[in-house]
């Protein structure tokens, strides 16, 4: 059966959508007839859409049973609600007449029973009924959940209001002419409840103040470069969604320019604070704001590692690595002043001078280092922890830490405000101890075959004459693979936390972890004095390295042992590049074989050992190692030294038939000058020389090419066969007949080479005439 419903708005009100031209809710009869609007009915219970059709005069026909309906009018972009009820059935089953209402009575208004708005957003509500379509007949009342409002009258065009406080409200309207006609709706006003800062220093802070000048506003303190995440909480509680494009975020630097990289993602914002100052962060929804302050400080504890009045650490550059700041133990008596050789200068670099803040300098182990501060032109020692106000800066570099005993400690700078520790700190890891380099004299072949493994003394290790000598390396060197040119260098540290490096004075120096050049200790670039990578001690406190001087001589070179990030010198070794080679021949008839220590009766080798220990490049041979023609290993080695090791000067001396070998080697070298690089035979010496090829005949010939020659010989009456004679030739030799001296008058051939005066004289001549 078909029923007719009169669209009778008993009482209702809602948001006024304005005029028809703007998509209004007031529709004419023509709108309904032309299908501009469509009427639909919804059962009161069940909320199922039921299609209806419009009548010519407006209204809705429903093919449903009797009952009460919610009737909607949809058109343009809105959907409007009113009430309709069953009017009964006319005679003959005809539809009831709609003449009771005219099209002008049918003004429709949006009536959301619940809606949301931003704080401070303006709204207008209008009430109406079919008996009283004049809006001035209505009065309104606004109630919060806690506070009941008063009726407001004389609102001819509806009730215009705005709500600035977030919360839930009830709007009630009633007809002044008929108080029984009322309607209500619920309004939720959305705002910002609080701002939460998190993700910095492992902490968080929350602020709920809406006054940017509130003295109790929440403040966080962070270091430059810190990224802070902010989260806005919605108000009222229980709401889960924000209006579109809300909340709105803003970060403002209270003084100076704004230097913040800001990224907004929904209710979150992320701020990177890369400049010092105080920033105000706000989140807003409509007129609702919440604020939090961010204080950004430049906070850096740095160390002047070489006391050069400059800062050597930037923030976050290895300062907290174990042993990052290493220093030596104080070795001088405590005289009330620091020993700057065991000190490092501190730089406390901060940017925010807050009278309510203090900086605290403390250590994890108090006995390892001591704090000195220059105050009123005098040194004052302070115990840890040391505190000072942030408006009294130590950034002038007038503070030092001094190593007092071997050990490790963390030096930490913290920030405290109003007696509360702020989660900001900077730490430098300190290690106190010693480091030492020990260089050794050169090897022969793949080991210490001619001489014992002899360390260069600490007194001589920086001498360019008595210090360690080194042969240059050439890839065509006949002993290249044997490592004859590599010098052994041991590195020791007293504290396993210390990270040590070597600094070289020239890039011609290479350092290896093995004598066969297996693994190289790499240096940073090829710059002079560039540090190596940290020395790998392999879990020990001692390591053996091998030093190589690559080819072209460039004068003395040095290796300096320092901490990884410091120029503090623990030890230094200076290497002189060998310019000469010394060849010593023992006697043949007496069977003198090289040894170290030398046989007490083998004075030639004693001379050789003395020269070796004083920094010369020395080789020892039995005279039989050289043929009378001058051929043999001694000759080959000298030629290789001239060709591949940049040797310029030659020294040859020998005893007995070793004197003859001295002549033969000099002759062979001199005869081959045309095929060899330039060289000079700077010094030769005979000790009671005997010709190598003639049995017992004395060697009276001047070694060919010799620039300086000294000849010690004896003419003892009781020596029947082996006696030396003066050497003749140009330049004139320095001939010394020891038989005519007080110290050698009784010396025979088997004793002359052991005379201390003879040995001293030869050593003196070589020291005078030959560069090492």
pLDDT, one tens digit per residue, over 296-314 is: 877 677 777 655 555 544 4
Which of 230-244, 342-356, 597-611, 720-734 is the least confident region?
Answer: 342-356
Residue 170: how many CA atoms within 13 Å on its side-chain side?
13
Which segments of 506-626 are extended strands (E)? Answer: 509-512, 542-550, 557-563, 571-577, 580-586, 618-622
Q: Are residues 427 and 493 in the same domain?
A: no
Going across the sheet that includes 3-6, the strands are: 50-51, 37-43, 68-75, 78-86, 3-6, 60-62, 53-54
pLDDT tens track for 529-543: 678 998 999 989 999
Q: Decide which of 203 and 244 is more confident.
A: 244
Residue 77: the pLDDT is 29
Q: How confident is the model at residue 110 (pLDDT cuts 50, 70, 90)?
A: very low
Mean per-residue pLDDT, 455-484: 82
Q: Decide which of 609 and 330 is more confident.
A: 609
Q: Are residues 420 and 447 in the same domain?
A: no
Which of 133-142, 208-217, 577-586, 639-648 is the least confident region?
Answer: 133-142
User: Would 704 be classed as within a structural domain?
Assistant: yes
Q: Are residues 593 and 653 in the same domain?
A: yes
DSSP reduced 3-state for 151: coil
Q: Are residues 518 and 598 in the same domain?
A: no
Most confident option among 133-137, 166-170, 532-536: 532-536
Which of 283-287, 347-351, 705-709, 726-730 is the least confident region?
Answer: 347-351
Beta-carbon contacts of residue 395 (< 8 Å; ≥ 6 apart): 347, 348, 349, 350
User: Would 271 be classed as within a structural domain?
Assistant: no
Q: Are residues 599 and 716 in the same domain?
A: yes
Q: Are residues 606 and 685 in the same domain?
A: yes
Residue 477: the pLDDT is 57
Q: What is the CATH number of the domain that holds 158?
A: 2.60.40
Q: Are residues 367 and 439 in the same domain?
A: no
Residue 309: the pLDDT is 54
Q: What is the CATH number of the domain that holds 385?
A: 2.60.40.1700
Instruction: State which of 73, 105, 137 marks the end of a domain.
Output: 105
Average pLDDT of the chain is 76
Q: Are residues 447 and 587 in the same domain?
A: no
688 touches 722 (CB < 8 A): yes
Q: How confident is the model at residue 201 (pLDDT cuts 50, 70, 90)?
A: low
Q: Helix, strand, coil shares of the chain as percentages rounded to 5?
A: 10, 40, 45
Cβ neighbours around 227 below 10 Å, total: 14
User: Would 252 be classed as within a structural domain?
Assistant: no
pLDDT at 437 over 80: yes
Q: Are residues 318 and 422 in the same domain?
A: yes
CA–CA separation, 370 and 435 (whole Å): 20
Q: Are residues 309 and 409 in the same domain?
A: yes
Q: Are residues 454 and 598 in the same domain?
A: no
User: Would 222 be classed as within a structural domain?
Assistant: no
Largest Cα–Cα distance of the chain, in whole Å?
177
Which of 30-44, 254-268, 609-623 is the least confident region?
Answer: 30-44
Return the bridge partners of 614, or none.
Answer: none
Instruction: State which of 129, 154, 188 marks the end of a domain.
Output: 188
Q: What percent of the chain has pLDDT over 70?
A: 69
Q: How confident is the model at residue 420 (pLDDT cuts 50, 70, 90)?
A: low
CA–CA separation, 362 and 360 (whole Å): 6
Q: How confident is the model at residue 528 (pLDDT cuts 50, 70, 90)?
A: low
User: Would 282 be classed as within a structural domain?
Assistant: no
CA–CA separation, 276 and 460 (whole Å): 53
CA–CA separation, 572 and 570 (whole Å): 7
Q: Are residues 701 and 736 in the same domain?
A: yes
Residue 452: the pLDDT is 93
* Domain membership of residue 398 as a residue range: 299-433
Instruction: State which of 105, 125, 150 marks the end of a domain.
Output: 105
pLDDT at 603 over 80: yes
Mean per-residue pLDDT, 590-619: 92
pLDDT at 343 over 90: no
User: Would 289 be classed as within a structural domain?
Assistant: no
User: Would 696 be classed as within a structural domain?
Assistant: yes
User: Would 124 be classed as within a structural domain?
Assistant: yes
**Cis (ω within 30 of 0) for the bond into 488?**
no
Beta-carbon contacts of residue 271 (< 8 Å; ≥ 6 apart): 227, 228, 230, 251, 260, 261, 262, 263, 279, 281, 294
Q: What is the CATH number of the domain that holds 646?
A: 3.40.50.1820
Residue 742: the pLDDT is 94
Number of domains in the chain: 5
Query: What sign for the dihedral angle of Cα 14, 16, 17, 20?
Result: positive
Residue 147: the pLDDT is 58
Q: With CA atoms as reference, report the closest residue to 444 among 513, 507, 376, 515.
A: 515
pLDDT at 35 over 50: no
CA distances from 238 to 171, 189, 195, 206, 231 (A): 21, 13, 16, 18, 16
Residue 459: the pLDDT is 94
Degrees (nearest 5) of the Cα angle 34, 38, 44?
155
């Amino acid at each position: 059966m078909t029923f007719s419903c009169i669209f009778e708005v008993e009482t209702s009100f809602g948001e006024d959508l304005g005029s028809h031209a703007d998509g209004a809710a007031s529709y004419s009869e023509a709108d309904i007839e032309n299908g501009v609007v469509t009427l639909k009915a919804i059962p009161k219970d069940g909320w199922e859409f039921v299609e209806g059709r419009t009548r010519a005069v407006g209204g809705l026909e429903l093919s449903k049973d009797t009952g009460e309906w919610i009737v909607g009018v949809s058109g343009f972009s809105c959907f409007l609600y009113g009430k309709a009820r069953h009017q009964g059935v006319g005679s003959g089953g005809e539809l009831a007449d709609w003449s009771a209402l005219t099209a002008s009575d049918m003004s429709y208004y949006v009536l959301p029973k619940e809606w949301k708005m931003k704080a401070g957003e303006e709204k207008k509500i209008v009430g109406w009924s079919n008996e009283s379509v004049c809006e001035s007949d209505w009065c309104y009342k606004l109630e919060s959940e806690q506070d009941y409002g008063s009726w407001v009258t004389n609102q001819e065009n509806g009730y215009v209001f705005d709500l600035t406080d977030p919360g839930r409200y009830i709007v009630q309207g009633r007809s002044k002419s008929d108080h029984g006609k009322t309607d209500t709706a619920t309004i939720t006003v959305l705002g910002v409840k609080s701002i939460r800062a998190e993700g910095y220093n492992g902490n968080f802070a929350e602020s709920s103040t809406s006054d940017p000048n509130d003295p109790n506003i929440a403040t966080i303190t962070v270091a430059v470069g810190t990224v802070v995440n902010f989260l806005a909480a919605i108000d009222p509680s229980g709401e889960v969604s924000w209006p579109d494009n809300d909340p709105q975020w803003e970060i403002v630097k209270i003084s100076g320019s704004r230097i913040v990289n800001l990224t907004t993602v929904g209710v979150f914002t992320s701020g990177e604070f890369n400049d010092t100052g105080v920033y105000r962060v706000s989140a807003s929804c409509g007129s609702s704001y919440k604020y939090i302050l961010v204080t950004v400080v430049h906070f850096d504890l740095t160390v002047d590692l070489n006391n050069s009045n400059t800062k050597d650490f930037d923030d976050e550059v290895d300062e907290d690595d174990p042993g990052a700041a290493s220093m030596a133990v104080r070795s001088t008596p405590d005289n009330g002043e620091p020993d700057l050789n065991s000190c490092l200068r501190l730089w406390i670099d901060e940017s925010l001078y807050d009278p309510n803040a203090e900086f605290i300098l403390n250590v994890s182990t108090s006995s390892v280092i001591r704090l000195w501060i220059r105050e009123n032109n005098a040194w004052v020692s302070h115990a840890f922890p040391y505190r000072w106000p942030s408006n009294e800066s130590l950034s002038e570099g007038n503070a030092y830490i001094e190593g007092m005993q071997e050990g490790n400690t963390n030096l930490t700078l913290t920030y405290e405000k109003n007696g509360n520790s702020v989660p900001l700190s900077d730490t430098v890891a300190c290690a106190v101890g010693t480091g030492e380099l020990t260089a050794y004299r050169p090897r022969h072949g793949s080991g210490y075959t001619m001489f014992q493994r002899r360390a260069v003394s600490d007194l001589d290790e920086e001498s360019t004459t008595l210090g360690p000598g080194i042969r240059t390396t050439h890839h065509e060197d006949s002993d290249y693979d044997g490592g004859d040119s590599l010098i052994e260098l041991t590195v020791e540290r007293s504290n396993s936390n210390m990270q040590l490096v070597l600094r070289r004075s020239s890039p011609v120096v290479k350092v290896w972890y093995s004598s066969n050049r297996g693994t190289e200790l790499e240096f940073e670039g090829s710059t002079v004095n560039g540090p190596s990578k940290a020395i790998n001690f392999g879990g020990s406190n001692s390591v053996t390295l091998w030093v190589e001087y690559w080819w072209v001589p460039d004068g003395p070179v040095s290796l300096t042992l320092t901490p990884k990030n410091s120029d503090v010198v623990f030890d230094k070794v200076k290497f002189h590049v060998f310019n000469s080679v010394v060849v010593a021949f023992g006697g043949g008839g007496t069977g003198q074989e090289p040894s170290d220590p030398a046989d007490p009766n083998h004075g030639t080798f004693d001379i050789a050992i003395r020269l070796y220990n004083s920094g010369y490049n020395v080789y020892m041979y039995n005279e039989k190692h050289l043929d009378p023609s001058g051929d043999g290993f001694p000759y080959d080695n000298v030629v290789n030294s001239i060709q591949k090791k940049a040797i310029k000067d030659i020294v040859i001396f020998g005893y007995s038939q070793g004197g003859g070998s001295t002549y033969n080697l000099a002759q062979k070298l001199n005869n081959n000058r045309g095929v060899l690089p330039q060289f000079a035979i700077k010094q030769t010496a005979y000790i009671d020389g005997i010709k190598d090829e003639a049995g017992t005949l004395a060697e009276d010939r001047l070694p060919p090419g010799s620039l300086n020659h000294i000849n010690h010989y004896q003419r003892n009456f009781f020596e029947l066969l082996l006696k030396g004679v003066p050497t003749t030739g140009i330049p004139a030799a320095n001939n010394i007949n020891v038989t005519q001296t007080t110290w050698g008058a009784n010396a025979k051939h088997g004793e002359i080479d052991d005379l201390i005066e003879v040995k001293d004289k030869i050593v003196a001549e070589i020291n005078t005439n030959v560069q090492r």
